[in-house]
Amino acid sequence: MGKINLKRTDGVQKGLNGIVRLDESREIISKVADSRDVKGEEVRQNMATLYPLLSRYAHGNDGCIVLKDSIHPDNERAGLVGIMEIQGGWPRPPAWREEKKEKKE
């Protein structure tokens, strides 16, 4: 299947792991991590278990992936944003958005 050489039966986490191993992945994830003041290596490590972790938060499908800072810690959210940005250049990328709470001063 496409860039990450998977069969449809390989599973979601295996697909995520394939995305993380792409050449473009390291650069994009590092950029996202830096922009959020988190460590890229920690983000990549968290990505190894993203699917079982995130499947707990799946409540229906409205066609758009929503990344909420109230649910996802910084490192996890940075990894997810990295995956979404990587897929953004692919044919038919998933729709997504990030929801951040307003910081109180």
- Going from N- to C-terminal start, the domains of the chain cover 10-99
Q: C-alpha 60: how far from its chain's center?
A: 18
**Biggest CA pair distance of the chain:** 49
Helix axes 40-47, 23-35, angle to 10 degrees: 120
1 pLDDT more than 60: no
12 pLDDT more than 60: yes
73 pLDDT more than 60: yes
pLDDT band at 94 (very low <50, low <70, confident <90, very high): confident
SS3 82: helix
pTM, rounded to two decimals: 0.64
What is residue 6's predicted lDDT score, i.e. its pLDDT? 65
What is residue 4's predicted lDDT score, i.e. its pLDDT? 66
